[in-house]
């Protein structure tokens, strides 16, 4: 069997004997919308659970539109559409002028966008005409008081000062938030570092899981934060494995997010019938494989198909290396995985939360990484390293024998594997 796997902007070929492959786990083949702009306009004309955005905007002076950072892979701009233009049309119809509309990039605790990244993601017509501002988790955040968890909700002042608040984004499964999209545009998107830290520190809670919303303390707090921060209008999209938009939902925050995550779950749910020794998990190319830090969704989805003690072969270019200094430092300084797992919740930092989450996986499975990261940098952080896919297969054979059984996940960051006996 031969299969091309995306690697950065190119690809790598995986060659396996048929006897070693239990299956290729992929999304259902659902085609992208034939006319994204038409579908979006229709969704904006008929919003779920609220008035049209143009009606909400009437009599208002200012608007803030939250957009996702580039690592999220939200397909805002393609040659035949730009998701932000119909939203602007609605705001204009409500009487809000261009100079009073600002775009706020929900970077969370990530770095600010470069101008090129803004153009690549949102288009020159947006960047050259409107102010596009990257959220800063360390500056200009205003307290809205305590959430029920005791976490103080500090939100970007630009958002709070705007009369019309619009949020956009992509819904996918998320390994500790349940699903991305929806309320996640507020927390972690545009809140202060300490608000993010306390939320993400709950990753040690056993109720935190992929595709779980209610009863997941991280997701529940995100819901509460978004309600308190105020969202007038939400537009979310769901994509297929070709990164084509297959569904657009728009309107009320709660109702739209529920409709979106249910559509996402139905599309991304991939059944399998027996656990494997090995999984070859591809992050899906740039930007999903920009760093090891951004490859966590791939790792956490891949673990679901493995027997205890199995091996994840992660195929991820990691052009930005490990990707988070804090994440890298936590893994480097830990004397053992148990030390990470026994970290007290109040001590877990942003970036450190990913190290703790990773330790949960590394405690149960080997993670063998095919990437641009130096071998010693990986091995000092509890990972295994392979120069190539061929070397990785040799490593797997030494551990599991020539008759190892495996799954291949070409877009592991997207799918939601479910065991069905």
Give me the residue spans of the domains in the chain: 2-26+273-419, 36-267
Distance CA 56, CA 231 (A): 11
Among left, alpha and beta (phi > 0; psi -120 to 50; other), residue 285 is: left
The pLDDT assigned to 330 comes to: 96
Q: What is the pLDDT of residue 287?
A: 87
**d(Cα 97, Cα 203) in Å, to the nearest integer?**
42
pLDDT at 110: 87
User: What is the pLDDT, as a whole number, of residue 70?
Assistant: 87
Nearest C-alpha neighbor of 54 from the set 185, 232, 237, 228: 232
pLDDT in tens, the chain (421 residues): 999 999 999 999 999 999 999 999 998 899 999 999 999 999 999 999 999 999 999 999 999 999 999 888 899 999 999 999 999 999 999 999 999 999 999 999 888 999 999 999 999 999 999 999 999 999 999 999 999 999 999 999 999 999 999 999 999 999 899 999 999 999 999 999 999 999 999 999 999 999 999 999 999 999 999 999 999 999 999 999 888 999 999 999 999 999 999 999 999 999 999 999 999 999 999 988 999 999 998 999 999 999 999 999 999 999 999 998 999 999 999 999 999 999 999 999 988 999 999 999 999 999 999 999 999 999 999 999 999 999 999 999 999 999 999 999 999 988 999 999 7
- Fold assignment, 36-267: Rossmann fold (3.40.50)
C-alpha–C-alpha distance, residues 310 and 297, integer Å: 18
**Beta-strand runs (E) in 119-241:** 131-134, 141-146, 152-156, 164-170, 173-174, 178-179, 233-239
DSSP character string of 345-403? GGGPPTTHHHHHHHHHHHTTSEEEEESSS-HHHHHTTT-EEESSHHHHHHHHHHHH-TT
Q: Which CATH class is domain 2-26+273-419?
A: alpha beta
Q: How far apart are CA 351 and CA 348, in angstroms?
A: 8
* Confidence at residue 15, expressed as pLDDT on a 0 to 100 scale: 97
Residue 414: the pLDDT is: 85
Bridge partners (DSSP) of residue 81 are: 78
What pLDDT sits at residue 183?
A: 97
How far is Cα 77 from Cα 119, in angstroms, rounded to an integer?
Answer: 9
């Amino acid at each position: 069997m031969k299969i091309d796997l995306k690697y950065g902007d190119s690809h790598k070929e995986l060659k396996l004997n048929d006897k070693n492959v239990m299956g290729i786990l992929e999304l259902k083949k659902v085609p992208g919308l034939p006319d994204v702009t038409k579908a979006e306009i229709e969704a904006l004309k008929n919003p779920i659970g609220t008035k049209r955005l143009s009606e909400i905007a009437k009599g208002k002076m200012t608007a803030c539109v939250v957009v996702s950072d580039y690592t999220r892979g939200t397909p805002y701009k393609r040659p035949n559409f730009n998701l932000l233009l119909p939203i602007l049309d609605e705001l204009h119809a409500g009487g809000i002028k261009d100079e009073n509309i600002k775009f706020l990039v929900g970077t969370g605790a990530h770095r600010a966008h470069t101008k090129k990244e803004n153009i690549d993601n949102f288009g020159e017509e947006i960047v050259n005409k409107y102010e596009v501002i990257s959220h800063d988790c360390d500056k200009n955040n205003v307290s809205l008081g305590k959430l029920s968890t005791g976490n103080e909700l500090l939100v970007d002042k630009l958002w709070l000062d705007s009369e019309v608040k619009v949020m956009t984004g992509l819904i996918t499964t998320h390994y500790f938030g349940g699903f991305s999209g929806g309320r996640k545009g507020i927390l972690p998107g545009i809140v202060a570092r300490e608000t993010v830290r306390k939320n993400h520190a709950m990753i040690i809670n056993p109720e935190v899981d992929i595709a779980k919303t209610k009863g997941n303390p991280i997701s529940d707090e995100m819901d509460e934060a978004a309600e308190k921060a105020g969202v007038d209008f939400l537009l979310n999209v769901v994509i297929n494995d070709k990164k084509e938009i297959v569904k657009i939902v728009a309107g009320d925050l709660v109702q739209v997010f529920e409709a979106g995550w249910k559509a996402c779950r139905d599309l991304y749910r991939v059944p399998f019938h027996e656990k494997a020794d090995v999984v070859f998990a591809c992050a899906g190319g740039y930007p999903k494989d920009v760093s090891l830090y951004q490859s966590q969704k791939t790792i956490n989805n891949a673990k679901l198909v493995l027997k205890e003690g199995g091996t994840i072969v992660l195929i991820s270019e990691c052009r930005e290396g490990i990707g988070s200094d804090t994440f890298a430092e936590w893994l480097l300084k830990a004397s053992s995985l148990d030390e990470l797992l026994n970290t007290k919740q109040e001590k877990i930092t942003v970036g450190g939360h990913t190290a703790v989450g990773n330790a949960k996986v590394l405690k149960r499975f080997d993670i063998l990484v095919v990437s641009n990261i130096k071998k010693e940098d990986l091995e000092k952080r509890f990972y295994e390293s392979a120069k190539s896919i061929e070397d990785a297969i040799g490593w797997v054979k030494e551990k599991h024998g020539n008759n190892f059984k495996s799954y291949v996940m070409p877009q592991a960051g997207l799918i939601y594997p479910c065991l069905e006996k």
